Amino acid sequence: MSAQEQFVKRLETDSPHLAVQRAAPLAPYTSFGIGGPADLLVVVESVTDLAQAVQFANATRVNWMVLGSGSNVLVADEGIRGLVIINATQGFEIDQNGLLVAASGVMLCELARWAVDEGWGGLQWAVGIPGTLGGATVGNAGAYGGSMAGIVCWARVLRSDGSIAQVPVEALGYGYRTSALKREHARDGRSLVLETAMQLERGDAGALAAEAASYDARREASTPRGRCAGSVFKRTAHYPAGYLIDRAGLKGMTVGGAQVSPVHANFLMNTGGATARDMRCLIERLQRRVWLLYAHHLDPEIEFVGDWHWQTSCTEVGL
């Protein structure tokens, strides 16, 4: 019996309420709308099930990865070998002192809007940010001067050895759009965020709502509509990535079905039928042109996941 079959049997025996899909397309689970199939896929809705699915995969030696909203990844056309766990965990609670503890599958923007409506300050910058709390915790999501690093108290994580630890913010090693968790190498087994605790402060609900509305208006004016993954590149040491791409005259550039948005140059769009290869080639072309023109390296915010067994060569498609 293969390792994957052992995993399926273990899940059917110990967690029969979790349905396993085979050869499941991943495009519907990503904001790009791009991605080949996963060998196995399971959707979990509780923190307990999330931890258990990972522990079963480790016990049967099945490679696994977790996807939240799929808003910060580019999945290979060949898909992902092994198990993909869709993190749809829900639930949060806040105490009288403003300590908010939430499951990692909660959408960050929804949590932020709830906090604003309830008069809790600290998350209003996040009302328009797509993605789950778990992804935001790992990637130190931020906007308009706020970030996860400024409010996180601790994260409860599942380690690669199966142990569960509560990691204080000091040990999370936050930097610009990164953390100690993100820097862990996938080959060695990344830690998985199960829950995150954030410290909020009491504020005036009306003032918080007005602040959130101002962020909504700014985002509405500059954010393209369609299949994309938000900002693709990190800000360089001196300039926003979108400014450099725009200055290079690259807005509207296309590779296959992938396009640099005419609205915001740091957004790459799936205009219909784009492949992961199209998108990665476009990313590499932008990196090369900006480097040649301005000697600034564009570092991707998004992660390339899955079976990227070939080396992308944009010269093969005349780029």
Average pLDDT by consecutive 10-residue portion of the chain (319 residues)?
A: 95 94 97 97 96 94 93 95 96 97 97 97 94 94 94 95 93 93 76 97 96 91 87 94 97 97 96 96 98 96 87 50
pLDDT for res 319: 47
- Classify residue 249 as exposed, middle or buried by CB count within 10 Å of its CB (0-12, 13-18, 19+): exposed
Q: What is the three-state SS of 133-150? A: HHHHHHHCCEECCEEHHH
Note the pTM of the prediction, 2 decimals: 0.89
Per-residue tokens: 261: 């948005």
Pairing of strands 142-143, 120-121: unpaired
pLDDT for res 161: 82
pLDDT for res 188: 61
Which residues are catalytically annotated? 177, 231, 301
pLDDT for res 157: 97
Domains plus CATH for the chain?
A: 3-87 (3.30.43.10), 92-211 (3.30.465.10), 224-317 (3.90.78.10)
pLDDT for res 94: 98
Pairing of strands 73-75, 303-305: parallel
pLDDT for res 317: 45
pLDDT for res 17: 94
